[in-house]
Chain A
Amino acid sequence: MSEKPQVKSSPSFFNNPRNRSLIYQFLLLAGLVYFFYGIITNTLANMEARGIKSGYDFLFTTAGFDILMSLIPYDATYSYGRTFIVGLLNTILVSTIGIVLATIVGFLMGVAHFSKNWLIRKLAVAYIETFRNIPLLLQIFFWYFAVLATLPSARQSLSIGEAIFLNVRGLYLPGLIAESGAGFVYTAIGLAFTAIFFLARWARKRQNDTGQQFPVFLTSLGILFGLPLIALLLSGIPFVWDFPALKGFNFRGGITVIPELMALALALTVYTGAFIAEAVRAGVQAVPHGQTEAARSLGLKESRIMKLIIVPQAMRVIVPLLNSEYQSLVKNSTLATAIGYPDLFTVFVGTTLNQTGQAIEIVFMTMAVYFVINMTISFVMNRFNASVELAERN
């Protein structure tokens, strides 16, 4: 390419395309700011005129209502602001459970779709087709009202070894109560994870440099269990079991998994799992068959072909799809309100909004939260996507 002749005349300020675009952008921005400013002041004025309270002061007043389940200390004497956090944590909890389980179910079912076993293959297809096509709300009601609500009453609980109980009020598991010295064990767990992280890095580098492999998986397993076990023994086992027991109307003690959480997590898992299975199927099918044949002709074992050839390429198709499935799952978790699982939507947009009447503020805060959660998912998945993307040479 030959150099373009440089035009050396200096254009007037307004004819300079750079200046022009800056001016236009500035005008647009000013217009937008003015627009939103107008909307906000107008809204506030109208609310004032109609006697509707506004502002965020309510976040500091006493809530006065109880919440079925909270991951942090909470009772009716805490503030409305606290109800926001309680709901948010419950949303994060059910979303995380849903994402992890749906991914596992989805990958298993997606791979089962290619099974050589006729029955497994058909089961996978039946699962995908059924659960993808039934509205999620219906599935939630199914698990909650048709399955979990038919469990026996507290007094007739199903039990495993008088330690785990299942009844219409939920699943009761023994809990661990930490005594002094438990910090030692927690530190050991933290150390184990750090050690595994560095071990994996070192092993990868060594393999890249020298071609020698290191049994990372087995060593990690050893560290993960060994280190905390040693700490546990050294500190004289600073934990006691807390078994659930029937007292009065209900079980007390231990850990309670409420049926609302079970039903919602189950429904989200099964529903989203079906979509993920589809994504996995699409991903695997997108890898040309020639790849498998080429790998075979190189003498690779079938299991290695899957791991080294198919999966890395399939991931390029799967990951972007996963991203949107995860985001849908988070949004779908708001259906919690139909069965009273105390997620952000139920607690904050439901009860708090109703008790305070501050609809605009509360809906705004909630929209912001879901926006941030989904942006975070998107960010993480995009990073992940970049790491599985074709490293093009040019």
Chain B
Amino acid sequence: MKQLTSVIATGLALSLSLSAQAGTLEDVQKRGNVSCGVSTGLAGFSQKDENGVWSGLDVDVCRAVAAAVLGDASKVQYKPLTAKERFTALQSGEIDILSRNTTWTHTRDTSLGLNFAGVNYYDGQGFMVSKALGVKSALELDGAAVCIQAGTTTELNLADYFRANGLTYNAITFDTSDQTRAGFESGRCDVLTSDQSQLYALRIGLSDPSSAIVLPEVISKEPLGPVVSQGDDAWFNIVRWSLMAMVEAEFLGIDSASADKAKAEGNPSQKRLMGSEGDSGAKMGIPAEWGYNIVKQVGNYAESFERNVGAGSPLKIARGLNAQWNEGGLMYSSPVR
């Protein structure tokens, strides 16, 4: 129903032309917070603890933008969204950024009036099955019942993969990841499929994580990243460069502990990122120390990764594709100059 409300809101906004198309930056500054669409709860990516504090890799993007624009990473208002609700929430102007493990696809980029500001996690779709089934490969899944979440790329990849391999299956779709996991646990389906990172997150949420295994096959490319409304280039730039700053900080060897030192006595590249040299902030209409605030308050990409999904988290995901480009990964920031 929430989705329907947003659709109607979008309709109204579009028909009355009230939508704040340009000027998100001014709105955010006036409001004093960044409104950020996240998941309804997915370990490692966007998750709320008992005290109502959100954390995760996707949450850190929102926090980085808040740090860059408002100088305070905590000035974020989170809106939990299911996969189905997320795009209308952005179109209707309910949120300023969508940072919710969302795959960058052609259709989404070209026909929804949205723009992807970058990639904060390179992922691919995988399968999780109960160990008891004794299945070793996805190709043994003919005739299986598969739990998925509605409104995702997962639904489409699954159909493609089974069709391409001449396998049959039943797709059981749920609205939220909690329901999907409940369906898997009750035995309604043999398989749960989703982006691999999310499988690991869902797996640790099982009452007995060791009862399930993730199959080796990765059947798709899922570049996940933050999304903004089309038509506000200034805001798009801010979100893109907030993400870049985290990646660039890792590349330049600056982390939250060394940010102060880098700002005061770093090399020219470090000083430019920290805002003690050049006018990168002014060019975006935000404080000069935007990069410093991000790194100091949120950390660089490596810190965020390890804390939320890597070694420092229950997920223990290896950097893999998400390592820096010079370490065998795909994370690459354009230079701040």
Contact = CB atoms under 8 A, between A and B. Distances in A.
Interface in B143-181: 143-145, 150-152, 155-156, 158-160, 163, 169-175, 179
B235 to A, nearest CB: 14
B21 interface: yes
B6 to A, nearest CB: 8
B91 A359 contact: yes
Interface string B85-129: 001100100000000000000011011111000000000000000
B143 A338 contact: no
B83 interface: yes
Contacts of B163: 75-77
Contacts of B183: 149, 340
Contact of A51 (B11, B113, B151): B113
B10 interface: yes
A145 B178 CA distance: 12
A194 B337 CA distance: 85
B318 interface: no
Contact of B113 (A50, A168, A169, A354): A50
Contacts of A67: 171
Given A145-B186, A351-B150, A68 B173 contact: yes
Interface stretch (A40-48, A171-179, A322-330): A40-48
A359 B110 CA distance: 15
B16 interface: yes
Interface string A72-89: 000111000000000000
Contacts of B229: 50
A250 B144 contact: yes
B304 to A, nearest CB: 28
Contacts of B234: none
A354 B87 contact: yes
Interface in A345-361: 346, 349-351, 353-357, 359-360
B15 A340 contact: no
Given A50-B229, A76-B163, A354 B156 contact: no
A65 interface: yes
A51 B4 contact: no
B19 to A, nearest CB: 7
A259 interface: yes
B316 interface: no
Interface string B6-27: 0110110011110101000000
Which of A47, A168, A339, A354 counts the most B-chain CB atoms under 10 A from its CB? A354
Interface in A7-22: none
A50 B107 contact: no
Given A68-B171, A249-B145, A168 B151 contact: no
A340 B231 contact: no
Contacts of A339: 174, 179
B155 A357 contact: no
Interface in A273-288: none
Contacts of A260: 172
A340 B190 CA distance: 16
A150 interface: yes
A359 B188 contact: no
Contacts of A340: 150, 172-175, 179, 183
A391 interface: no
B230 interface: yes
A53 interface: yes
A59 B87 CA distance: 20
Contact of A43 (B8, B14, B110, B172): B14
Contact of B111 (A52, A65, A153): A52
A169 B188 contact: yes
Could you say which interface size class chain A belongs to? Answer: 35 or more
Contacts of B8: 363
A222 interface: no
B182 interface: yes
A32 interface: no
A304 interface: no
A162 interface: no
A66 interface: yes
A123 interface: no
A51 B231 CA distance: 8
A359 B15 contact: no
A355 B84 CA distance: 9
B285 interface: no
A248 interface: yes
Contacts of A49: 21, 231
A289 B110 CA distance: 70
B108 A47 contact: no
B142 interface: yes
Contacts of A169: 145, 187-188
A359 B173 contact: no
Given A64-B160, A68-B171, A42 B17 contact: yes
B173 A355 contact: no
A65 B142 CA distance: 17
A205 interface: no
A349 B188 CA distance: 24
Contacts of B172: 68, 260, 340
Which of B144, B160, B171, B173 counts the most A-chain CB atoms under 10 A from its CB? B173
Contacts of A150: 186
A363 B92 CA distance: 15
A378 interface: no
A92 B239 CA distance: 46
A96 interface: no
Nearest to B8: A363
Contact of B15 (A46, A50, A53, A248): A46
Contacts of B112: 51-53, 357
Given A249-B143, A351-B84, A356-B111, 12 more contacts: A51-B114, A66-B155, A66-B171, A76-B159, A150-B186, A248-B144, A250-B143, A250-B145, A340-B175, A351-B150, A357-B108, A363-B7
29 contacts: A46-B14, A46-B15, A50-B230, A51-B110, A52-B112, A64-B160, A65-B156, A65-B171, A66-B169, A68-B172, A76-B163, A77-B163, A145-B182, A168-B186, A169-B145, A169-B188, A248-B144, A337-B175, A338-B175, A338-B179, A340-B174, A349-B4, A353-B7, A354-B83, A355-B156, A357-B87, A357-B112, A360-B10, A363-B7
> Which 5 A-B pairs have CB atoms at the shortest separation, nearest pair first?
A354-B151, A149-B186, A52-B113, A53-B111, A76-B159
